[in-house]
A and B are shown apart, each in its own frame.
Chain A
Amino acid sequence: MGTQGGSEAAAAESFYPSDEDIEKWMANAFDMAKDALENGEVPVGCLMVYNDEVVGKGRNEVNETKNATRHAEMVALDQLLDWCRHRDLDVRSVCEQTALYVTVEPCIMCAAALRLLNIPVVVYGCRNERFGGCGSVLEVSSANLPQTGTMFKCVSGHRAEEAVEMLKTFYKQENPNAPNPKTRKD
């Protein structure tokens, strides 16, 4: 990968997943989410792809760690960091060529974490009306935060209804009082 030369911005600009990439990796993310649902876990599928390779994969680990920040994205980011460490690769240059595929819009915390690591593109399924950090509650993805990494692009709406249905099914099983996530009405 010849990423040297050209500014960081230009490198991020040139990196964008193709429609086929999105189709393929989102199918993968949805399989993960379905699998989670069948095992009584939060049905969110999430993977980080670098150079056509999965370098991070996550599921929600809040309950077993008692750490409320262990969202699927944070787990996947940790795997990406380990992956870089084992191969002695520069984290920043890998991150700048990595896309996140996730079935639900990342929350405000995860969106900020993605910025801090300079991930340029996030592809997600449905909106996250309760916590969403890519526009639903706050727009962290494109906010003017010069000390908080770099902004990232969002590709949203891929199989959104399916993602919502899985969340609804999960919350109905888990907690009848939990509010239902809503879909975008456009």
Chain B
Amino acid sequence: MEPQMKRWKGSACDTDSWVAYPVLSDDQSQDVELIEAFAAPIVDKKETSRLIRELNSLYPLNGLQHIKRVRACKGKGSPHPLEVLVCLVSDAPDVKDVSIGSLLPSDGVRHDGLGEPFVVKVPVRPPLTRPQFELVSKHWPTSFHEDKQVTVALRGELFSPPQKATMHLYMMSAFTAAEAGKEMGMEAVGAVVVNPATQRIIAVGHDCRGDHPLHHAVMVCIDLVAQSQGGGCYSFDKYPACRFTLSDTDTFKCSVEASSQPYICTGYDLYVTREPCVMCAMALVHSRIGRVFYGTASADGALGTKFKIHSQKDLNHRFEVYKGVLSKQCEDLKSLDSHSRKQRLEDCR
């Protein structure tokens, strides 16, 4: 690895040309859902703890534990220092003219120290990412258990320059394989499986669907990884760019002990020039891939575009996905493909 790393040091600008962003689950990337609630100013600060206690028992915020009951007023010139959440609009008694008196029956909460209610918006679910947190905080304060790695990843800063140089190298191998496949009349897609612990490339493959319609680059790589462990069921001998490294001891790790199922890609990373389709994405779940890096999205992609199979509820294996590695070059490959597809269609006419 060492000599390669040195080679890449000189061209650091290359790695500045792309950013790897995480492909998060829908829950993490969706807009936050807001609902309306009544809040009221606390005009007498001394009543605060009593008000919170009484409101909590009259209008408990069930399932909304992330929402703070009281907030400090932002503006310094505010006549009152605090505001309290009285209840959700949906929980309020159905009256025409909402007032603090109509919201709070006299036997439940004494309204001493409360001003007239107004409507605010609060999030239905706790924020999962910093952008979601910043959005909901504009409406009402909530608690937020920050996943620091996600925050950094969303800024595109998860990977250090040396890490990016390594990633660049792996995606270049996938890119080169894609070009070799293209030369042989296949779609221009390439993939590489890497063991990040040893920084060894386990398998390099490209699309081979000219001979077999299901031999997408990822499926080719999965079989090559199996071959590296003494298994596999296809021969890719006629494609010199499809190859694997015979495993030494480290790669045999799980296949022996993991009883019935060979989870051959456990702990491995996949680099693929374009987002995998549904078949390939699920094949990666079955193979227990560690992480997936892809260059550019594809129309029916299953790791972000049409589905997010890596974060699909009910599936027994999840993995991290990052997109954008060598995005420009991978995008060019793809347009090369769609161009030749159009050409082929025209030739048919």
A29 touches B (CB below 8 Å): no
Decide: A138 and B312 in contact? CB cutoff 8 A.
yes
**Interface stretch (choices A97-105, A144-152, A157-165):** A144-152
Within 8 A of A (CB), among B99-152: none
Complex alpha-carbon distance, A61 and B262, angstroms = 11
B34 touches A (CB below 8 Å): no
Complex alpha-carbon distance, A131 and B285, angstroms = 10
With A65-B231, A138-B312, A148-B277 as given contacts, are A91 and B213 in contact (CB-CB < 8 Å)? yes
Number of interface residues of A (CB under 8 A): 39
Output the residue of A138, A140, A144 with the most chain B CB within 10 A: A138
Decide: B278 and A145 in contact? CB cutoff 8 A.
yes
B219 touches A (CB below 8 Å): yes
Contacts of B282 in A (CB 8 A): 107-109, 112, 131, 133
A8 touches B (CB below 8 Å): no
Decide: A67 and B315 in contact? CB cutoff 8 A.
no
Contacts of B98 in A (CB 8 A): none
Complex alpha-carbon distance, A39 and B175, angstroms = 44
Decide: B231 and A175 in contact? CB cutoff 8 A.
no
Decide: A69 and B259 in contact? CB cutoff 8 A.
no
B296 touches A (CB below 8 Å): no
Given contacts A108-B309, A131-B282, 20 further A-B contacts (CB under 8 A): A61-B233, A66-B232, A66-B255, A66-B264, A67-B226, A68-B222, A68-B261, A69-B223, A69-B287, A108-B278, A109-B283, A111-B278, A112-B278, A117-B213, A129-B314, A130-B315, A133-B278, A140-B278, A147-B299, A148-B279
| Sampled A-B contacts (26; CB under 8 Å) | A63-B260, A63-B262, A64-B231, A67-B222, A67-B231, A67-B233, A68-B261, A68-B264, A68-B286, A68-B288, A69-B287, A107-B286, A108-B285, A108-B309, A109-B285, A109-B286, A116-B214, A117-B213, A129-B314, A138-B278, A138-B307, A145-B278, A147-B298, A148-B279, A174-B260, A175-B259
